[in-house]
Amino acid sequence: MKLSTLRVVAVSAMLSATAISGAAFAENPMVGGAPMLETKDIIDNAVNSADHTTLVAAVKAAGLVETLKGAGPFTVFAPTNAAFEKLPAGTVDNLLKPENKEQLAKILTCHVVAANALSTAISKMVADDGGAHPVKTVGGCVWTAKYEGDKITLTDENGGVANVTIADVVQSNGVIHVIDAVLLPKM
């Protein structure tokens, strides 16, 4: 083979390898206008989502960054900025104050499960439990997972309901499910 032919073959092979490796990451949906890479942890992906700036600020204020960068596995039900905006006026600002760090940490850890629960696993648990599955969180809350059509819903201890709007965002240390409401524990 001529040198120029070898170069074409080598470049073609590199492009094919890039397309194949890129396809592995294409399975994860975009969140907040950013790619969510399976090779990054929950925090490293979340900071890139324009839809999760409030959540990221809250995680930092609660001192949970290192925890969520840990090995996991974690399943995080991640409220969007719009979800936080549904809370009564002033709630987020109040929770972000240093004197409310413990309450904020409780709320946030009630959005985390110490497992890697993809939607298929949640679906099976809901079906096995007759249509409603109790979800025990790291923060000690128990939510109720159900399916409405093809969407997962979570009901908190106060009767509030969050819908999973983007499921199965795989991370290096778990999975994120984007939700449209903040789940609140009984206080």
185 in a domain, yes or no? no
Whether pLDDT at 126 is above 60: yes
Residue 186 maps to a domain: no
Whether the per-residue pLDDT at 62 is higher than 80: the answer is yes
Residue type, 160: G
For range 14-20, the mean pLDDT: 35
Nearest Cα to Cα of residue 182 among 61, 42, 81: 81
What is the pLDDT confidence band of residue 33, given thresholds at 50, 70 and 90? confident
Phi and psi at residue 65, to the nearest 5°? -60, -55
pLDDT for residue 150 is more than 80: yes
Task: Check if the beta carbon of residue 99 is closer than 8 Å to that of residue 157.
Answer: no
The string over 142-181, giving b where at least 16 C-beta atoms fall within 10 Å of a residue's C-beta and e elsewhere, is ebbbbbeeeebbbbbeeeebbebbbbbbbbbbbbbbbbbb
Statement: residue 13 has pLDDT above 50: no
Tokens matching residue 43? 């925090």
The domain total for the chain is 2
Half-sphere exposure for 143 (CA within 13 Å, toward CB): 28
82 and 117 share one domain: yes
**pLDDT, mean of residues 10-23:** 35
pLDDT at 138 over 90: yes
Q: What is the spatial distance between Cα 4 and Cα 19, in angstroms, rounded to a whole number?
A: 23
Same domain? 22 vs 55: no
Phi, psi of 126 (to 5 degrees): -60, -45
CATH number for the domain including 140? 2.30.180.10
Domain co-membership, 125 together with 163: yes
- Find where tokens 């993809």 sit: 118
Q: Domain check: are 42 and 131 in the same one?
A: yes
Residue 10, pLDDT score: 34
pLDDT attached to residue 12: 34
Give yes or no: residues 70 and 6 share one domain. Answer: no
Percent of the chain clearing pLDDT 90 (strictly above): 64
Looking at the fold, whether 35 and 24 belong to one and the same domain comes out as no
CB atoms within 10 A of CB 68: 21
pLDDT at 95 over 80: yes
Asked if residue 126 and residue 92 are part of one domain, the reply reads: yes
Domain that holds residue 150: 31-179
Over residues 107-112, the mean pLDDT reads: 95
Asked if the structure places residue 187 within a domain, the reply is no
Determine, yes or no, domain membership for 88. yes
